[in-house]
Amino acid sequence: MTKHKIKQHINDVDSLLGQVIAEAKALHIPISKKIEPHVYINTRARSRFGCCKKEMKILEAVFLIEISSLLLTSPGTIIKQTLAHEVLHTCSGCHNHGALWNQYADLMNKVYGYNIKRTATYEELGLGKPKASLPKSYEAKYLIICNSCGTKFERTRMSPLVKYPQRYHCKCGGTLQRKK
């Protein structure tokens, strides 16, 4: 992809963020008024599609939205869905994926036809797993397993989930246990 095409994609993503913000406001979802209008492109992200960061800038909090560069060639609807997911995190009380965040996500899903949820896979987004983008040495160092349904969560890095699996639950409600 040429530099010109990358710049065009970034401009398109900024425009899509503006559309998502307008959609949320039209539904009276109380998103923050302090969302940076420029979407940051993360060229290293491989296991997440987006991120919402709260940063202090000149004595006030500002939300920065970031998406993976892997989404740049996706259809606009996929990018908007990811941006909507992150924009909802700017609402007071929605910094996690709790009941209020889910309520707003369900409303946007119903009205705009999104499929916003806590997590998504490459396959669910119709992207196919980008095997070439994973390092050749990719192997999960850690394995967390749900004691109820047996779902496996592989991780390559130490994280709070790996350190303290007892603090987390599977979506089935089961407890988690570190196996390796």
Structure tokens at 142: 């850690």
Residue after which a domain boundary falls, among 96, 112, 128: 112
Which tens digit of pLDDT belongs to each residue from 117-136? 988 887 777 776 655 444 44
**Domain region containing 84:** 3-112
Overall average pLDDT of the 147-170 stretch: 88
> pLDDT value at position 46?
75
- C-alpha–C-alpha distance, residues 148 and 68, integer Å: 32
> pLDDT value at position 1?
45
Which tens digit of pLDDT belongs to each residue from 131-152? 544 444 456 788 899 998 888 8
> pLDDT value at position 138?
52
Co-location of 21 and 56 in the same domain: yes
Coil/strand/helix, residue 25: helix
Can you say how many angstroms the Cα of residue 64 is from the centroid of all Cα atoms in its chain?
A: 13
Co-location of 37 and 85 in the same domain: yes
Co-location of 43 and 101 in the same domain: yes
> pLDDT value at position 57?
77
Give domain status of residue 134, yes or no: no
- The pTM of this model reads 0.69
Co-location of 106 and 147 in the same domain: no
Coil/strand/helix, residue 4: helix
> pLDDT value at position 5?
44
Domain count, the chain: 2
Burial of 22 (0-12, 13-18, 19+ CB in 10 A): exposed
Contacts of 116 (CB under 8 A, 6+ apart): 81, 84, 85, 88, 105, 108, 109
Query: ∠ CA(55), CA(59), CA(63), 5° rounding?
Result: 25
Name which of 79, 77, 76 is nearest 68 in CA terms. 79
